[in-house]
Amino acid sequence: MSYARRALAVAWKDLAVERRSKETLNALVFFSLLLLFVFQFTLGADRERLAAVLPGVLWLGFVLSALLALGRTFLVEREHDCWEGLLLASGDKSAIYLGKLAGNLVLMFVVEALVLGLFVVFFDIDLGRALPGLVVVVALGTLGLAAVGTLFAAMTANIRAREVLFPVLLLPVQVPVLLATVKATEGLLLGEPLGAVAHWVKLLAAADVIYLVVSLLTFDVVLEG
Amino acid sequence: MVRVLGWLSAAALAVGLVMAFGVAPREVTQGNVQRIMYVHVPLIIASYVAFGVLAVASLVYLIRRDPRADRVAHASGEIGVMFVGLGIATGSIWGKPTWGTWWTWDARLTTVAILFVMYVGYLLLRAMIDDSERAARYAAVLGIVAALDIPLVHFSVYWWRTLHQPPSLMKPGGFTGSSSILWPLLVNLVAFMILYAYLAARRVRLLRAEAEATA
């Protein structure tokens, strides 16, 4: 099988499993709804204060659901004893990484679209002109999160304390992505054009490229055994 | 050889201490508190060197699979975390009387704090994997990711906010301060570099003994 077809096979397999079991998606959707309650209770009902912290809170929601979703990347294989299958797969292992990453991205985009929709309804934010720019920022930020998250998920899959270790490893590395996305979102929600936050978007793009290249080059090493 | 390094670092640190208190002048506005810089700056710079060595050693390990490279990375990670932790502590002690606060989310403070948690995570990952070969592989991957992340962290945090006084030692145009400050600083910098080399050599030796004992 060609490289692209192997990557696609992994992604398709994961999405098919997810579509039939809905294990992760159902829990994530409900989790993001709960997050909304938690934010509302902890921040209070003051509209102005809410508006000021909204970009940060929005990304907090994205990151928390990402931690749950990405951390589970290789648990399908673990739980159904298919880990050896991954190890034995022929050819360059980075195809598996790309497939897993694609599956994660689809899952996260679905959840993020939902969270964003819930925010619009519950916190009464007017996306309006900000939406196209926001899509770019969310796409780049999610790619950065998922690129490293998928690599780290493979590293922590076989460790006992993976639920704790995964966020402990991922969050410090993702600080640039978090700062850039929150700052860019802040600017966009204030009505600024995408050009005004271009330096953050460039930083995100650079981070994505670096994370992707490193992950593709090192994934073979992680999946050696 | 290692023993020589130990005595050398002890001697250099002693000279550095004498210079920091005896040779360096009392700073006009900050007073004696400023003398903590002769420990603080070398600690931070030495920790960056340790993390640099860690990154190179990680890369060498992934290419050659030489356990010696892994031990160098492991030792450098531990010493770097210790140095950066002490650097944050000394900076905090200096900041309280000078800035009026133990901690502020200034750009460089934040960068260093992120480095600290990132490499504590590195040590945690190492500690949680029982199989030493797998620990070495995963740690090497994390070491490379972390090293490439440092410039991103630096720029993002810098754009986020900045308050720290600009670097006084390495800046465009060279050092402009008095040489009575420069020499004590340089001597201490060398002293802490030797201390790092000594500690790393001792730790590598201990790690090798551990590996031989369990093999």
Closest CB to A175 among B114, B134, B141: B114
Confidence of residue B118 (pLDDT cuts 50, 70, 90): very high
Find which of B51, B108, B133, B152 to mutate to test the A interface (most A CBs within 10 Å of its CB): B152
- pLDDT tens digits, one per residue of A68-89: 999 888 888 888 888 888 888 8
Which of A169, A202, A224 is best to mutate for the B interface (most B CBs within 10 A)? A169
Angle formed at CA B133 by CA B129 and CA B138, multiple of 5 degrees:
60
A6-52 pLDDT, tens digit per residue, is 899 889 998 998 889 888 888 888 898 898 888 888 888 777 777 78
CA B49/CA B55 separation, integer angstroms: 10
- What is the number of other CB atoms lying within 10 angstroms of the CB of residue B176? 8
Could you give the 3-state DSSP secondary structure of residue A125? coil
- Decide if B129 and A159 are in contact by the 8 Å CB cutoff: yes
CA distance B83 to chain A (A): 18
Please report the number of interchain residue pairs, chain A to chain B, with beta-carbon separation below 8 angstroms: 78
Lowest mean pLDDT, pick from A97-106, A208-217, B135-144, B161-170:
B161-170
Residues 33-72 of B with CB under 8 A from A: 62
Q: Which two tokens stand for residue A168?
A: 């402990």
pLDDT, tens digit, 9 for 90 and up, residues A151-164 = 999 999 988 888 89
Are residues A172 and B155, on separate chains, in Cβ contact within 8 Å? no
pLDDT tier at A225 (50, 70, 90 boundaries)?
Answer: low
Kindly list the residues from chain B whose CB atom is less than 8 angstroms away from the CB atom of residue A200. 159
Amino acid residing at B64 = R
pLDDT in the model for residue A72: 87
| Closest residue, chain A, to B62 (C-alpha) | A221
Which 3 state secondary structure label does DSSP give B146?
helix
Question: Phi and psi of B27, rounded to 5°?
Answer: -70, 140
Contact between B41 and B164 (Cβ < 8 Å)? no
Share of chain A above pLDDT 90, in %: 48
Q: Tell me: pLDDT of B150 over 70.
A: yes
CB-based contact B156 A224, cutoff 8 Å: no
The two tokens of residue B70 are: 């892994």
In the stretch 90-129 of chain B, residues with CB closer than 8 A to chain A read 114, 117-118, 121, 124-125, 128-129
Chain A's closest residue to B115, CA to CA, is A172
- Which residue in A169, A176, A199 is closest to B142 by CB distance? A169
Q: Which residues of A touch B140 (CB under 8 A)?
A: 221
Q: What is the pLDDT at residue B172?
A: 53
DSSP calls for B29-61 = TTBGGGGGHHHHHHHHHHHHHHHHHHHHHHHHH
> What pLDDT is stored for residue B30 in this prediction?
81
Q: Residue B163's pLDDT band (boundaries 50, 70, 90)?
A: very low
Contact check, Cβ <8 Å, B156/A221: no
Average pLDDT over residues B9-26: 90
pLDDT digits (tens, 9 = 90+) for A129-179: 888 899 999 999 999 999 999 999 999 998 888 889 999 999 999 999 999
Q: Which of B133, B156, B159 to mutate to test the interface with A (most CBs of A within 10 A)?
A: B156
Mean pLDDT score of chain A, rounded to an integer? 90
Mean pLDDT of chain B: 90
Rounded (5°) CA angle B140-B144-B148: 170
The pLDDT value given to residue B206: 96
Q: Do A173 and B146 touch (CB under 8 A)?
A: yes
Considering only CB atoms, B138 lies closest to which of A155, A160, A183, namely: A155
A177-186 pLDDT, tens digit per residue, is 999 999 999 9
Question: pLDDT value at position A54?
Answer: 87
Task: Say what percent of chain A tops pLDDT 70.
Answer: 100
Residues B147-154: contacts with CB within 8 Å, 24+ apart? B147/B51, B147/B52, B147/B54, B147/B55, B147/B58, B148/A210, B148/A214, B149/A173, B149/A176, B149/A210, B149/B118, B150/B51, B150/B115, B152/A176, B152/A203, B152/A206, B152/A207, B152/A210, B153/A175, B153/A176, B153/B111, B153/B114, B153/B115, B154/B111
A168·B153 Cβ contact <8 A: no
The per-residue pLDDT for range B167-210, each reduced to its tens digit, is 555 555 556 667 778 888 999 999 999 999 999 999 999 999 99
To which H or E segment does residue A68 belong?
helix A47-71
Residue B142 forms contact with A (CB below 8 Å): yes
Closest CA of chain B from A21, distance in Å = 31
